[in-house]
């Protein structure tokens, strides 16, 4: 039945856009307007995206004020204001603290002295006046990452976007997202629609979970070439993507294990609303046919063999 908990998939596919957006929204009240009082790098491997070592990272950040957190696709960043302490670079160059959560990264907001979190790699001690009547409120932000695919970095920005995220396309929930233009670009592609949806230069923030969900809604086989879609069908697919992302956001994202949590360490609940991903061997919530899980691009795709038939003439 619809909403049945999915079978545990092989390996995490989160965080995707909804999970990163949940983290961004949770960080905003804790960091916006806060001053960085201290930085502690516990594992230098979480600075692989930063140009310079731990000392440079600390000197670049201490004394700076944090702006409103922003996101593009799976990239999350916080604009940096104020002078650059001992960093010694051009203090007028716009910069941001960039976070990429990788596959297991977490941004956790804690009170100073709170019990340690597992796999904490970097700690930021902030003074957040907005959180305390006296005008001074200490807050600790911890970057934790079990699998070490994510990390933090200070990066220059152009038009408000860090250089490492400049190639990333807008995502379907961005107010500036042009669905008609993206649909036209999608229809110019010979590759399958799922591969196109996962191409972050076409549309960002979509991973394996939400691609499977959107394709199930659109009754499309993952290998359907983009060039076979009409403009109306392509727009309908993008609308389904948007709906899936909105639903996941409303439920706090998707959690299969403790690797994805929000800034308070809480899991999301969208895993209980999945109709396709992780449901191989279970009945299709729409027609009752047994869902199939098939190898795809070193991952897997789950679909309904009746609702999402392979297009005619398409080689297996």
From the list 6, 9, 12, 16, the catalytic residue is 16
From the list 6, 9, 12, 15, the catalytic residue is 15
Q: Is 138 exposed, middle or buried (0-12, 13-18, 19+ CB in 10 A)?
A: middle
Active site residue 24: no
Active site residue 15: yes
From the list 24, 64, 72, 74, the catalytic residue is 74
Active site residue 194: no
From the list 49, 299, 306, 310, the catalytic residue is 299
Which residues are catalytic, by number? 15-16, 74, 299
């Amino acid at each position: 039945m619809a909403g049945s908990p999915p079978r545990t998939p092989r390996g995490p596919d989160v965080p995707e856009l909804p999970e990163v957006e949940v983290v961004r929204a949770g960080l905003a009240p804790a960091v916006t307007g806060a001053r960085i009082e201290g930085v502690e790098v516990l594992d230098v491997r979480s600075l692989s995206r930063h140009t310079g070592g731990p000392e440079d990272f600390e000197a670049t950040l201490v004394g700076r004020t944090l702006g409103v957190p922003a996101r593009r696709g799976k990239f999350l960043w916080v604009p940096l204001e104020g002078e650059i302490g001992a960093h010694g670079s051009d203090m007028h160059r716009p910069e941001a603290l960039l976070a990429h959560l990788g596959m297991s990264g977490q941004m956790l907001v804690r009170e100073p002295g709170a019990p340690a979190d597992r796999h904490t790699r970097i700690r930021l001690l902030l003074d957040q006046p907005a959180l305390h009547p006296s005008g001074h409120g200490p807050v600790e932000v911890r970057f934790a990452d079990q699998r070490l695919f994510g990390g933090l970095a200070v990066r220059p920005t152009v038009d408000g976007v860090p250089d490492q995220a400049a190639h990333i396309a807008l995502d379907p929930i961005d107010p500036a997202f042009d669905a008609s233009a993206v649909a036209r670009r999608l229809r110019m592609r010979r590759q399958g629609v799922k591969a196109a949806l996962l191409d972050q230069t076409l549309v960002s923030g979509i991973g394996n979970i939400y691609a499977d969900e959107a394709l199930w809604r659109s009754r499309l086989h993952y290998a359907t070439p983009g060039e076979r879609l009409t403009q109306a069908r392509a727009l309908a697919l993008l609308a389904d993507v948007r709906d899936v992302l909105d639903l996941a956001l409303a439920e706090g994202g998707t959690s299969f294990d403790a690797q994805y949590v929000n800034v308070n360490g809480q899991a999301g609940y969208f895993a209980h609303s999945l109709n396709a991903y992780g449901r191989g061997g279970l009945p299709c919530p729409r027609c009752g046919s047994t869902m199939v899980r098939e190898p795809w691009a070193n991952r897997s795709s789950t679909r309904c063999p009746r609702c999402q038939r392979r297009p005619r003439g398409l080689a297996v």
